[in-house]
């Protein structure tokens, strides 16, 4: 499979993602510069973490208007798989490919730690190799991960099973104490209504191989591959 | 001509930054402070044009880029022509 990883000025997890795609998953990773205008030939796209454009104005707000984004929006609208990790999630929100917005963490600090998330929906192209209710331990590293959306949109996300990951404790209970950044409804990751675009704040690429003590992130990349190979039918 | 654009969080959106500033003001003895909301102010130099045309530009800039309509409100003013 050909996986395109978009490189914005200030991206800093692009090579980590490329490493996982190629060295761990055995696929072809293609770094695509943000000034490019095409994602032709790619089977899936990853928007990596980092600080695109220095997080100026709002996180993701300037990257969202990079030349490559038109191609990504078109790719997503055609049903192509798009995964946004951390800053990539923020860019997807600014681009309107996912609903809602990010606020500053309630504690104001940049948080860099491991967080437990529960798989709320294991029937997506990004979680089909997980089990519903499974607890993953994934690193988070952000200052603006406090997901917010209006009550009507939140109800729609809940009703359509668009909330894919929620912050929880080790036992899988979603509590206020296990919510690191103040996200509404403990949201750590959501998908779009069609199901082909996912954004999450945690970094699965930082824990996806045996050399680390933790390989919990592997299942997300595995899920994408399974979806691309047709083992799990893509949502209509 | 010069314009100022003000971006503020919508009412009801929690502003931890404003809260931290408020607490600090209280520590300094400004106990009369009841609430603080932190926003952004942008000073924009525009080529000269009719005020109405400038306002249309400013509104469009705010909606497309300067403000995130999910969480923020905006207002603008022409400060010099």
Total length of chain A: 236
Check if A17 is active-site: no
Give chain B's length: 81
Choosing from A13, A17, A86, A168, which is the catalytic residue?
Answer: A86
Would you say residue A121 lies in a domain?
yes
**pLDDT at A236 > cutoff 50:** no
Which of A62, A108, A148 lies at the smallest CB-CB distance from B71? A148
Q: What is the CATH number of the domain that holds A177?
A: 3.40.50.880
Q: What is the pLDDT of residue B80?
A: 86
Q: What is the pLDDT of residue A232?
A: 54
Per-residue pLDDT at A231: 58
**Predicted TM-score of the model (pTM):** 0.94
Which ipTM was obtained for this model?
0.86
The counts of H helices and E strands in chain A are: 5, 11
Closest CA to A200 of A56, A81, A93: A93
Chain position carrying tokens 């795609």:
A21
Say yes or no for a CB contact (<8 Å) between A61 and B20.
no
How many domains would you assign to chain A? Answer: 1
The contacts of residue A203 (CB under 8 Å, 6+ apart) are A13, A16, A49, A85, A86, A138, A139, A140, A141, A217
Distance of CA A98 to the CA centre of its chain: 11
Model confidence over A32-62: pLDDT tens digits?
999 999 999 999 999 999 999 999 999 999 9
A182/B14 Cβ within 8 A = yes
- Asked whether residue A235 is assigned to any structural domain, the reply reads no
Q: Of A184, A54, A103, which Cα lies nearest the Cα of B18? A: A103
Q: Distance (Å, rounded) from C-alpha A42 to C-alpha A24?
A: 18
Longest CA–CA separation in chain B, Å = 47
**Which pLDDT belongs to residue A234?**
46
Q: Is A207 a catalytic residue?
A: no
Within-domain flag for A42: yes
Residues in chain A within 8 Å Cβ distance of B20: 108
- What does the pLDDT average to over B55-70? 97
CA distance A7 to A140: 20
- Quick one: what percent of chain A has pLDDT higher than 90? 95
Which residues of B are less than 8 Å from A65 in CB distance? 65
pLDDT of residue A235 exceeding 80, the answer is no
Single out the catalytic residue among A34, A142, A203, A218. A203
Query: Phi-psi bin for B12: left (phi > 0), alpha (psi -120 to 50), beta?
Result: left
The model's pLDDT over A154-172, given as tens digits with 9 standing for 90+, comes to 999 999 999 999 999 999 9
On chain B, the residues whose CB falls within 8 A of the CB of A104 are 16-17
Q: Is A234 domain-assigned?
A: no
- CATH class, domain B2-80, is alpha beta
Residue B76 neighbours by CB under 8 Å, 6+ apart: B3, B4, B5, B6, B55, B58, B59, B62
Smallest Cβ–Cβ distance between A108 and the set B20, B65, B70 belongs to B20
Q: Is A203 a catalytic residue?
A: yes
Is there a domain that residue A233 lies in?
A: no
- For the cut 90, the answer to whether the pLDDT of residue A213 exceeds it is no
Which residues 23-52 in chain B show a CB within 8 A of chain A?
none
pLDDT, tens only, B25-49:
999 999 999 999 999 999 999 999 9
Considering the domain boundaries, does residue A236 fall inside one? no
Question: Whole domain around residue A83: which residue ranges?
Answer: 2-228
CB contact under 8 A, B13 and A148: yes
């Amino acid at each position: 499979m050909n996986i395109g990883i978009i490189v914005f000025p200030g991206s800093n997890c692009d090579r980590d993602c490329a490493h996982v795609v190629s060295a761990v998953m055995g696929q072809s990773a293609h770094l695509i510069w943000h000034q490019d205008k095409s994602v032709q030939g790619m089977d899936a796209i990853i928007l990596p973490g980092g600080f695109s454009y220095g997080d100026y104005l709002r996180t993701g707000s300037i990257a969202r208007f990079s030349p490559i984004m038109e191609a990504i929006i078109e790719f997503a609208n055609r049903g192509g798989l798009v995964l946004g990790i951390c800053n990539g999630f923020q860019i997807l929100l600014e681009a309107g490919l996912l609903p809602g917005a990010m606020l500053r963490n309630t504690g104001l600090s940049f948080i860099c730690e491991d967080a437990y998330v529960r798989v709320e929906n294991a029937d997506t192209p990004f979680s089909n190799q997980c089990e519903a209710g499974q607890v993953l331990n994934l690193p988070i590293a952000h200052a603006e991960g406090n997901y917010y959306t209006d009550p009507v949109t939140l109800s729609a996300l809940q009703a359509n099973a668009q909330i894919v990951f929620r912050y929880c404790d080790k036992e899988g209970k979603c509590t206020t104490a296990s919510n690191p950044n103040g996200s509404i409804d403990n949201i750590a990751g959501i998908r779009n209504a069609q199901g082909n675009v996912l954004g999450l704040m945690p970094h699965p690429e930082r824990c996806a191989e045996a050399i680390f003590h933790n390989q919990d992130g592997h299942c997300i990349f595995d899920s994408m591959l399974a979806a691309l190979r047709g083992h799990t039918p893509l949502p209509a | 001509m010069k314009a100022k654009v003000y971006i503020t969080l919508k009412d009801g959106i929690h502003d931890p930054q404003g809260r931290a500033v408020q607490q600090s003001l209280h520590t300094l003895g400004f106990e009369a402070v009841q609430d603080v909301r932190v926003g952004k102010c942008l000073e924009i130099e525009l080529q000269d044009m009719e005020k109405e045309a400038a306002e249309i530009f400013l509104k469009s800039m705010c909606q497309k880029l300067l403000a995130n309509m999910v969480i923020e409100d905006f207002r603008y003013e022409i400060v010099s022509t």
